[in-house]
């Protein structure tokens, strides 16, 4: 089992460029999440998908869109990148929505927006 995989590992963008961060899990989990991690702020939830076919906003959704492509894959899109979106992005998955929540994390994508 690869667990949760993310691509790319690193990315540098110019302001205004767009990109999609990819995430896939092979644990047959229902729920998937996108977080951003900034120094001193812990992890903040951007969007989540409680089950295939559903997505919901988290704490900091502005400037992002998501797609739950199928049960395995959950992508995060930045339509017009801004320097404030410079961060480390983590994807996670968990077993059952609405139950206790043991989340499994990917290795992260380090994004720099110039």
**Touching another protein, residues 50-69 (CB under 8 A):** 50, 58
**Measured between alpha carbons, how far is 94 from 19 in angstroms, rounded to an integer?**
25
Pairing of strands 10-13, 109-113: parallel
- Check binding of 107 to another protein (CB under 8 A): yes
> Using an 8 Å Cβ cutoff, are 22 and 38 in contact?
no
**Measured between alpha carbons, how far is 54 from 68 in angstroms, rounded to an integer?**
7
Looking at beta carbons only, is 14 or 42 nearer to another protein? Answer: 42
10: enclosing H helix or E strand: strand 10-13
**Measured between alpha carbons, how far is 72 from 52 in angstroms, rounded to an integer?**
9
**Measured between alpha carbons, how far is 34 from 90 in angstroms, rounded to an integer?**
6
Q: In whole angstroms, how close is the CB of 25 to another protein at the nearest point? A: 12
Q: In whole angstroms, how close is the CB of 15 to another protein at the nearest point? A: 26
- Check binding of 94 to another protein (CB under 8 A): yes
Among 22, 75, 86, 103, binds another protein (CB under 8 A): 103
Contact mark string toward another protein, 16..55, x via CB under 8 A: ---------------x--------xxxxxx--x-x-----
Interface contacts to another protein, rule CB under 8 A: 4, 31, 40-45, 48, 50, 58, 90, 92, 94, 96-108
């Amino acid at each position: 089992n690869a667990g949760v995989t993310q691509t790319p590992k690193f990315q540098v963008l110019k302001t205004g460029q767009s990109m999609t961060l990819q995430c896939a899990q092979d644990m047959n989990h229902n729920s998937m999440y996108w977080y951003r991690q900034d120094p001193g702020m812990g992890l903040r939830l951007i969007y989540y998908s409680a089950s295939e076919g559903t997505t919901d906003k988290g704490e900091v959704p502005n400037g992002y869109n998501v797609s739950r492509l199928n049960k395995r894959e959950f992508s995060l899109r930045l339509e017009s990148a801004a320097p404030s979106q410079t961060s480390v992005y983590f994807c996670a998955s968990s077993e059952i929505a609405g139950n206790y929540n043991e989340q499994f994390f990917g290795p992260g994508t380090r994004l720099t927006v110039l």
